[in-house]
Chain A
Amino acid sequence: MKLDIDEILADMLSAIKGTVAENWKEVQSIANQFLQNKKERLDLLAELRINGDLNQEKFESYLEDEKLVLEAELHAIAIISKAIAQKATNAAISVLEKAVKAIISSVV
C-alpha cells in the first residue's frame, strides 16, 4: 500500500474546512450578540444622560469603561477562534493518523 500524500493533504484540508464552517455560525451569533449588547448599553447611556440620571463626568467615565468591556468581548471571541483552530488542526491530524495507521497495518 502506497502513502498518497496528495490525497491525505486534500482530506486534511477538507477536515479543516468542515470544522471551521461548522463553527462559523456560532462565532457569528456570538459576535452579533456582543454588538447587540453594546448597542443596548450605548442606547441606555444616551438615555440616562439625556434624562439627567447621569452627569457629564459620569457619562464620560462610563464611555471610557466601554473600551474595557470591548476588550473583554474581544478576548472571548479570541478563545472561540482558538478553539476552532484547535478543533480544525486536530481534525487534520486525525486524518493523517488514520492514513498512517492504515499503511502500518497493511505493512505489518
Chain B
Amino acid sequence: MKQLIIQTKNVALIFVSFLALNSCKVTFVPSYDSKISEQIDETSKSVDLFYLNMLETTSDKDTSREFDKFSEKYVELEVELNSLLNKNKVRPLNKSSTRICEITLQLWQKYKGIHKKDDKLTNGEIIYNRKIFNDLFYAMQVAEIGKKLAENPPQ
C-alpha cells in the first residue's frame, strides 16, 4: 500500500513536471503574418487608386468609363484578392479572415459584373464601391491586428 502511494506521488510529480517544463500554450487564432498585412495594405491602396482615378479622370457622360477601358485593371486587382484569399485559406484556425476575403472577392466580382453589364458606372456607384472596399480592407487589417494582440506573451 505504502509503495502504491509513493508510485502515485511519483506519477503526479512527473505529470506536474511535464506541465511545468513544457510551457503549455493554447492557440485560438493563427499567428500574425506581417507579409499578409502588407499585402492587405498594398491591395487596399491599389483598389482605392483604381476608383479615385476612375472618378477623377473619366465621366459617365461619354465613353471614357466603358468597361473595356478598366477590364485589365479589374483582372489585376482580382488576382491580388484571390491571392489574399488563398494565403488565408491555407492557414489553420483562420476561418474568419478567410470569410472576410471571400466576401471582399464576392463583392468585387459583383461590382465588376455590374460595370460590364451596364458598360458604365455613375459617380455615386464609384463613391459607394470605394467606401465599401475601404471598410472591408479595414476589417481585414483589424483581423490581422487581433492576431498580433494574441501574440503578446503574458507578463
Please list the residues of chain A having a beta carbon within 8 angstroms of any beta carbon in chain B: 15, 19, 23, 26, 30, 33-34, 37, 40-41, 44-45, 48, 51, 53-54, 58, 62, 65, 68-69, 71-73, 75-80, 82-87, 89-91, 93-94, 96-97, 100-101, 103-104, 107
Q: A41-B131, A90-B153, A94-B154 are in contact. Are A79 and B29 (CB under 8 A)?
A: yes
> Is A87 touching B149 in the complex (CB atoms < 8 A)?
yes
> Is A90 touching B25 in the complex (CB atoms < 8 A)?
yes
Instruction: Report the minimal beta-carbon distance from A2 to chain B, rounded to whole angstroms.
Output: 13
- B5-28: contact bitstring with A at CB < 8 Å (1 yes, 0 no)? 000000001001101110111111
- B114-155: contact bitstring with A at CB < 8 Å (1 yes, 0 no)? 100000001111011001100110111011011101101111
Q: A40-B131, A90-B26 are in contact. Are A33 and B138 (CB under 8 A)?
A: yes
Q: Complex: how many Å from CA A50 to CA B32? A: 43
Q: A15-B154, A54-B124 are in contact. Are A75 and B143 (CB under 8 A)?
A: yes
Closest chain A residue to B99, Cβ basis: A75
**Is B104 part of the contact surface with A, judged by Cβ < 8 Å?**
yes
What are 11 of the A-B contact pairs (CB < 8 Å)? A65-B110, A65-B132, A69-B103, A71-B99, A75-B97, A82-B28, A82-B29, A84-B150, A87-B150, A90-B25, A107-B13
**Is B77 part of the contact surface with A, judged by Cβ < 8 Å?**
no
> Is A104 touching B103 in the complex (CB atoms < 8 A)?
no
> Is A54 touching B146 in the complex (CB atoms < 8 A)?
no
Instruction: Report the minimal beta-carbon distance from A64 to chain B, rounded to whole angstroms.
Output: 10
Most chain A beta carbons < 10 A, residue from B21, B99, B107, B139 = B139
> Is A76 touching B25 in the complex (CB atoms < 8 A)?
no
**Is B106 part of the contact surface with A, judged by Cβ < 8 Å?**
yes
> Is B103 touching A68 in the complex (CB atoms < 8 A)?
yes
Closest chain A residue to B96, Cβ basis: A75
Interface residues of B in 34-60 (CB under 8 A from A): none
> Is B20 touching A45 in the complex (CB atoms < 8 A)?
no
> Is B139 touching A72 in the complex (CB atoms < 8 A)?
yes
Known interface pairs A72-B139, A103-B16; 10 further A-B residue pairs with C-beta atoms within 8 A, sorted by A's residue number: A19-B154, A37-B138, A54-B124, A69-B103, A78-B96, A82-B150, A86-B28, A93-B26, A96-B19, A101-B21
